């Protein structure tokens, strides 16, 4: 395989040949470096493909078990942790967060509900005070600052993407209720029993399987900082306090930290499996993880609006369920407006369409410039639904 070729391996049912075609076109026409895609229908794997390179220098081929940081695609598994606790009667999504986390009631947040955390409506899109990357690696410091801060907007009134804070907010509630950080809870309750190759952070013993993230082709750091400086405060806090990207995500310190909203690592197969729990209405591989009612509740719409952080990046209003985005009018997860999922910064995606019994995982290492609806991901989603 020359440096200009990207051999695609794996299997693809004949019915879904268009998905293989779109995946190959991502390499030939859309600048893909290394990637994998897995599609499950009715719990059966119909597409499982990988190809390209695991590093920028093109010295390591992307293998069947290559892992990669999937950024905010991690938010789906974090939401799943909260829904498992709610399904067991241990967490009330309509209760004030302070019921479980008393310190959180500070600065007028005593009426913020757990559902507001899950739907990015808590008004805590980012910290008000400067928060360095080293401080982001400190769980206690970060959650204590979130508990003490005043919201940017009236909680419950609008959604505004909580890019990094989401995982600390939902994760601290999971910890207060279960005694475990979300990474450990997810392993104990889901990925361990189901044999799903996904972790929050990355154990050092797995570094050899990790793909190198490659920064998107965007403006230089100084230009990027200038762009962020023009954003409204809630958006600037969400996206640039602290600023993070491919360079940081390749470091041992990032991998060793617990940043549940952004540093989940897995294969496309693992992402399809985690979102497959929702596509299967709570069941995966013969194991029941959620009751059907609890699985359905994840996509309970919390009201469409122009997102206060990402608004300009979408053609229309968007709507969040309780932890995941609804496909809606944008068709982000296919033509069914009630399909749902989550994208990761730069391109990755996990989606579930329980009505069609479909789940998809797409992971890659050359990051595109967008937070959501990367053209490579959309080509794969469109191909899947054309094949159904």
DSSP helix/strand/coil, 209 = helix
CA separation for the pair 137, 129 (Å, rounded): 16
**8 Å CB contact between 125 and 163:** yes
Most distant CA pair in the chain, distance: 60
Which residues in the chain belong to E strands, given as ranges?
8-12, 34-41, 44-52, 68-69, 198-200, 264-266, 283-284, 287-288, 325-326, 340-343, 349-353, 358-364
- In 3D space, the residue among 356, 347, 358 whose CA is nearest the CA of residue 52 turns out to be 347
Tokens of 318: 């968007």
CA separation for the pair 213, 198 (Å, rounded): 17
| List 72, 74, 327, 332, catalytic entry | 72
CA separation for the pair 319, 279 (Å, rounded): 19
Whether 72 is catalytic is yes
Q: What is the DSSP string of 107-142?
A: GGTTT-BHHHHHTT-SS-SS-SS---HHHHT-HHHH
Burial of 228 (0-12, 13-18, 19+ CB in 10 A): middle
Q: What is the DSSP string of 239-273?
A: HHSS---HHHHTSHHHHHS--TTTBEEE-HHHHHH
Residue in the block written with tokens 């909260």: 82
CA separation for the pair 344, 120 (Å, rounded): 16
Tokens of 249: 């995500």
Phi, psi of 192 (to 5 degrees): -65, -60
CA separation for the pair 363, 43 (Å, rounded): 20
| Cis before 242 (ω within 30) | yes
Give catalytic residue positions.
72
């Amino acid at each position: 395989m020359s440096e200009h070729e990207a051999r695609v391996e794996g299997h693809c049912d004949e019915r879904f040949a268009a998905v293989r075609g779109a995946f190959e076109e991502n390499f030939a026409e859309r600048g893909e470096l290394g990637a994998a895609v897995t599609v499950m229908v009715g719990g059966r794997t119909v597409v499982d493909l990988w190809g390209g390179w695991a590093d920028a220098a093109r010295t390591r081929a992307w293998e069947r078990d290559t892992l990669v940081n999937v950024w905010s695609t991690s938010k789906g598994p974090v939401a799943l942790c909260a829904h498992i606790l709610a399904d067991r009667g241990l967490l009330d999504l309509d209760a004030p967060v302070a019921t479980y986390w008393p310190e959180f009631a500070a600065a007028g947040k005593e009426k913020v509900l757990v559902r507001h955390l899950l739907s990015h409506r808590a008004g805590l899109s980012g910290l008000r005070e400067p928060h360095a990357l080293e401080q982001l690696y400190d769980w206690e410091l970060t959650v204590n600052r979130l508990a003490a801060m005043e919201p940017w907007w009236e909680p419950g009134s609008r959604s505004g993407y909580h890019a990094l804070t989401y995982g600390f907010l939902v994760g601290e509630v999971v910890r207060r209720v279960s005694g475990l950080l979300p990474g450990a809870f997810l392993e104990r309750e889901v990925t361990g029993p189901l044999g799903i190759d996904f972790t929050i952070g990355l154990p050092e013993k797995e570094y050899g399987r990790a793909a190198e993230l490659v920064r998107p082709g965007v403006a230089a750091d100084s230009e990027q900082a200038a762009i962020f400086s023009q954003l409204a405060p809630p958006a600037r806090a969400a996206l640039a306090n602290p600023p993070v990207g491919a360079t940081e995500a390749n470091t041992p310190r990032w991998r060793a930290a617990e940043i549940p909203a952004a540093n989940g690592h897995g294969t496309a197969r693992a992402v399809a499996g985690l979102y497959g729990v929702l596509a299967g209405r709570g069941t995966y591989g013969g194991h029941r993880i959620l009751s059907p009612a609890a699985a359905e509740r994840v996509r309970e719409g919390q009201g469409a609006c122009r997102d206060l952080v990402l608004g300009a990046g979408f053609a229309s209003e968007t709507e969040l369920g309780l932890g995941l985005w609804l496909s809606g009018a944008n068709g982000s997860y296919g033509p069914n407006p009630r399909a749902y999922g989550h994208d990761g910064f730069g391109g990755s995606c996990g989606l579930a369409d329980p009505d069609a019994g479909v789940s998809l995982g797409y992971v890659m290492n050359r990051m595109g410039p967008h937070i959501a609806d990367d053209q490579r991901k959309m080509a794969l989603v469109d191909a899947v639904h054309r094949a159904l």
